[in-house]
Amino acid sequence: MAAAVKNGTVERNGRDSKLRGAADPNAQNPAPDVKATPAQVSAIVIPKPDVQTVRVKIVGTAPLIVHAWSAKAIRKMEESQGGRIKPKGPKEPRDPQADFEGAKHQSGEGWEGVPAVAFKAAMVGACRLVEGVSMTLAKRLMFVEGTPLKSGMLSPLVKLQGEPARLRTDTVRLDNGSADMRYRPEYWPWSAELTIRYNAGILSPDMLLNLLETAGAFEGVGEWRPGSPMSATGSFGTFSVAR
């Protein structure tokens, strides 16, 4: 079928169709792209975080057992990782009193405590038992402050108040199935004062205290606590909030 071309158009069957790419002198110029100015863009507002600090006294409702890494244990790990493993010889005799002293979290200033992160971990773990706050979010909402120590290997401590620790003797089961003895400090009665920084824009003071109360009742701190992943029978290290 023949088609005639006139002025950039193809005449076919009485209908005109534009040639692809042909200029149309009668067509109007398209409007140019107009970019929004900064004033026309919606402003992004980032509010100042509402960070508050609260001091809370907690009181132990069960004995507290702690087990810090002793200087002897740390030295052995350093020797092992540095390739300075000593040849095996006769096993050193156990010194229960030395194990007991080495298992304390000591400030170096004459007082003993618990790592501040232990209380935060209990509060984060308690989010499993409440609605509205996930564990991932809770890690960013609150921080338990402790006293920084001179040694870089030790976490800041929360000072313990109450009776001096007593030497506790327990039989434990090792990963290889064999039994062993543990000589650890046990505090009873005990209490402590926590300093907690938190995001008050998300957590109210009552919410924070209720979460801490839940953590004390069902998570605990220290060895053989209810929330320990290594034990299904833990009942130590629980506490309540003194209101």
pLDDT of residue 67: 94
Indicate the average pLDDT of the chain: 84
Q: What is the 3-state secondary structure (H, E, C) of the chain?
A: CCCEEECCEEEECCEEEECCCCCCCCCCCCCCCCCCCHHHCCCCCCCCCCEEEEEEEEEECCCEECCCCCHHHHHHHHHHHCCCCCCCCCCCCCCHHHHHHHCCCECCCCCEEEEHHHHHHHHHHHHHHCCCCCHHHHHHHEEEECECCCCCCCCCEEEEEECCCEEEEEEEECCCCCEEEEEEEEECCEEEEEEEEEECCCCCHHHHHHHHHHHHHHCCCCCCCCCCCCCCCCCCCCEEECC
Among residues 94, 124, 129, 87, which one has the least CA distance to residue 198? 124
* Predicted confidence (pLDDT) per residue in 73-98, tens digit: 666 666 666 666 666 667 778 899 99
Higher pLDDT, 178 or 210: 210
pLDDT of residue 231: 81
Among residues 224, 228, 142, 235, which one has the least CA distance to residue 184? 224
pLDDT-wise least confident of 4-13, 34-43, 106-115, 198-207: 4-13
**Mean pLDDT calculated for residue range 54-72:** 92
Higher pLDDT, 76 or 195: 195
Higher pLDDT, 107 or 213: 213
Contact 162, 60 (CB under 8 A): yes
Judge if the upstream peptide bond of residue 63 is cis by omega within 30 degrees of 0: no
Res. 200: pLDDT tops 60: yes
Q: What's the token pair of residue 223?
A: 């060895």
- Where residue 14 falls among pLDDT bands split at 50, 70, 90? very low
What are the distances in angstroms from CA 196 to CA 4, 44, 193, 218?
87, 30, 10, 19
Q: Return the amino acid letter for 5.
A: V
Highest mean pLDDT among 2-6, 41-45, 97-101, 175-179: 97-101
pTM above 0.95, yes or no: no
- Rounded to an integer, what distance in angstroms lies between the CA atom of residue 224 and that of residue 33? 69
* Predicted confidence (pLDDT) per residue in 142-176, tens digit: 999 999 876 555 689 999 999 999 999 998 888 88
pLDDT of residue 32: 60
The CA radius of gyration of the chain, in Å to the nearest whole number, is 34
Highest mean pLDDT among 10-24, 146-160, 202-216, 224-238: 202-216
**Rounded to 5 degrees, what are φ and ψ at 139?**
-60, -25
- Rounded to an integer, what distance in angstroms lies between the CA atom of residue 55 and that of residue 197? 9
Tell me the pairing of strands 142-145 and 190-199.
Answer: antiparallel
